Structure formats: structure tokens, C-alpha cells
Chains A and B, each alone.
Chain A
């Protein structure tokens, strides 16, 4: 057993920001949405996760939008999904209690994503971070712009509006223990026309934890723009699941997603 006297220093110049695949399920079925509505069935989540895992995707986010609290059958279903992921995977949707948080972690997820529940009980972030570490707690903030209210935070999968300013809410989530924020623009969801960059930079400038941008990505240029705006990581759904102007279902994850790179593709079913 010989070890060099001088430690080796890893060159990290080639490290690139994470490009995360965001998958949405409605009652367990994989769907794509536009502006959080018009769910379109795109396939089986287990198979999709397996394909993204084979393609070496950086990370996965799984969001259930059915709105029901996590229960036994859902827990069993997401355990099967997590078992296909050989990379970090987080879960959000219907997490209401610390028991739910423990159940999701036990299922094999690295992180829990908390949204609606934080508006009723911000302490759940604190409690979860104390038990599993801040890196395991993601605060999700979903933002919509309306003529009447301007840019505001929404809960319950976009159905309920709140009066809290986005930046103030972001700070409170981080103070409570969230180790990461997932910032979604509801307006840009499914548009594939680019992220809400002002939203991304506003939140990124206000907090000290990594910020993930979600909603609107359609190409590698969009991903780079969000990084330039201050996002630590970028997430996309439609971009990796839909293909072409007719939005045919085709799973892709390029070898070098930030630069478009050579794409590997596969049907989902």
C-alpha cells in the first residue's frame, strides 16, 4: 500500500452545472403539461426513469401533481420508480408531514421537494433538514404572473395564489432549512420558449443556496441563459421528453446537454 507524499488535486475546470430532468406524474401516470394544465399522457414513469438513468442524466426530479397526500399505494409506486435511478432523484407532491418525508427518503430518494405544505408549516423544512441534512430538503416555489396580482407565488399545483412576494418567500424557505430551491415559472411551463430569466436572477441573488430553474427550456441555449442568470442548476421536462413541432414523445438526454451535444434517443413505451 503506497501513497504519494503529495496529495493529488482534482482539476475541476470541466465540472459543469447540473442539467436535471423534471418528470411530472398525474396520479402516477407520466404527463406533460402547459402552464400547469392540459396534461398529456406520455408514458410510464418507471420506464422513463430507467432510460434517463441509462443515458447518464445528472439528476432527476419527480413531481406528482394529483394533489393528494402521499399514501401507501403512492409510496409503493415511487419506491419502484426510485429503484431504477442510479443518480440522485428527488420527489415532491403530497408531502404533508415528517412521516411523509421519512417515507420518501426510505423509498430511496435523496431529496424531498416541499411546496404547499411550507405555507402552512414552514417548520417541516427545519425538522426535515435537522434529520436528513439541508441537502435533502428542496423548497419548490411556483410563480405565476397575472394582470391583477403581477408576479406571485402559487401553491396547490398552481391552483391557489398567495400574497407573499417571491423573494421574501425564497428567503424564508432558506432560513427555515431548505438546502436548495426549485423555481418554476408556471407561465413558461411547457412552452419550450425559454426560462423566466428575471425571476431566476432575482431569486438567485437573494439566497445563498443553489437555485434550480424550471419551466420553459426548449434548447441548450435556454439552459445556458439560466446558468448565466444565476441558476446553479437547470431543470427541464418537455425538452427531454417531447420531440418536434408535433410534440411526439421521444426521450432524449444529450451527452453534453448544455451544448446540445450528440443526443441519444429512445421511445418511452
Chain B
């Protein structure tokens, strides 16, 4: 456990696509002193990293490349810095996406796919998948303890799950389509849901991650 009153400084990557306001708001509520990075140049290598994201995969992949983020994130990942990817941030940890061209970070060897227009029974599937799902991960899903609750999802593309639980410890379903709700690679954790928009449930999740991540680095 971290000492009471100790302020953590996770670094939030701002790729310039989408919105990082909600994540910052939630981290601040948790008492963390989040630092926004608009370029990897002004970044050290120690504090935990949050890779948030809403928006288009290709635009973000472009920004990873042209902004010089890729090598910096790869180095952080290789040296076991705790990294949390949220929604598009989690998808960016994969190889590629059917949303458009561009490559992800490739830490999780899988693709990101478009939800089909029909569900398992052949009825139309409404996309985006938008709404709340129960959250009851078993203890082995995360390297930290998580309270059960519910989480908010909003996505048109999903992480193709693999039968191997190492990178894909936690999966869920929408319209009969199984997707990766959580992916893991070394100390990087990617979540398809939005903890920053999931009330006290998401807050508890982020607090657990922060506690674990800072303990890992202190």
C-alpha cells in the first residue's frame, strides 16, 4: 500500500486525438498529480503511464509514429514501466485494426476487428456497443486486487480474443461476439471499458491500478 497522502504522478499520453479530460478528472479526484505529456521528449522514464483514447485507430497510430511515441513507449514497456491503456489505448497495444491502416504497438499479438452487422442468431447487431456490463474479474486477471462492480463500454471495434489466457485473461461478449475486455503484456494492462466514466466502480479500479503501479516503481 502507498502511504496516506502521498501524491502519485502518473503520466497521461496526449496523442492529440480524442479527449483525455475525463481521465485527468478521475485521476485528480483520486489524489494523483497527473502529468500530461504532449511529446515523449519532455518525458522521463519512471512514473506509470496512462494511454487513454477515444477516436480513430489510424489517426492514433499515425500520431504514435509521427510524434515519436512508439520507441518511447516500447522502451518503457520493455523496462516494465506499468502502463494502462484505455479503450483505443488498449486497442493500440495490438497489432492492427480493421478500422483503418496503421500499426499498433504490437505488444499483444492480435488484431482489432469490426463488430459484425449480425449477431450469433442472425439478427441485426446494433453497433457501437454502448452500455454497462457487470465487472466480476477473478483474482488472476489483474496483478492487483479489483472490486467487482460494473463498467461502461462504448466501442465499434473489438480486440479479437485468443484462447490463450496469458495476454487475454478477461473476455466478455456483445451480441454473441466474444471480445477482449482486458489485455496484458508484461506490466502493461489494456482495458476496453472506460473506468474513468464508470462511477465509483471505475474509480476503485483506477485506484487499485495506481496503488499497484506506484508500488511497482517506488
Contact = CB atoms under 8 A, between A and B. Distances in A.
Given A3-B169, A53-B199, A56-B199, A10 B130 contact: no
Interface string B178-208: 1001001001000000100111101100000
A11 B143 CA distance: 21
B132 A210 contact: no
A233 B129 CA distance: 12
Contacts of B154: 88, 110, 135
A83 interface: yes
A15 B131 contact: yes
Interface stretch (A35-43, A116-124, A125-133, A145-153): A125-133
A181 to B, nearest CB: 11
Contact of A7 (B136, B168, B202): B168
Interface stretch (A23-31, A68-76, A101-109): A101-109
Contacts of B17: 131
Interface string A185-226: 000000000000000000000001111000000000000000
A168 to B, nearest CB: 18
Contacts of B141: 3, 8
Interface string B7-19: 0000000000111
A206 to B, nearest CB: 11
Interface residues of A, number: 44
A110 B126 CA distance: 19
Which of A4, A7, A110, A180 has its CB near the most chain B CB atoms (within 10 A)?
Answer: A7
B25 interface: yes
Contacts of B131: 15, 17-18, 58, 232-233
A9 B169 CA distance: 9
A87 B184 CA distance: 25
Interface string B93-135: 0000000000000000000000001000000111110111111
Given A4-B165, A5-B165, A18 B172 contact: no
A5 B163 CA distance: 9
B152 A208 contact: no
A136 interface: yes
A7 B163 CA distance: 7
Contacts of A10: 133-137, 170-173, 181
B64 to A, nearest CB: 17
Given A8-B170, A107-B21, A134-B156, A86 B126 contact: no
A179 interface: yes
A123 B161 CA distance: 35
Contacts of A3: 140-141, 165-166, 169, 184
Given A12-B172, A105-B19, A133-B128, 15 more contacts: A1-B143, A4-B138, A5-B165, A7-B169, A12-B134, A86-B200, A86-B202, A87-B152, A87-B199, A110-B22, A110-B54, A131-B56, A132-B54, A135-B155, A233-B131
27 contacts: A1-B187, A3-B165, A3-B169, A6-B165, A7-B164, A7-B165, A7-B171, A8-B137, A9-B173, A15-B133, A18-B132, A56-B199, A58-B131, A83-B25, A86-B203, A88-B194, A107-B21, A110-B197, A133-B56, A134-B128, A179-B130, A179-B156, A209-B128, A210-B128, A210-B130, A211-B126, A232-B126
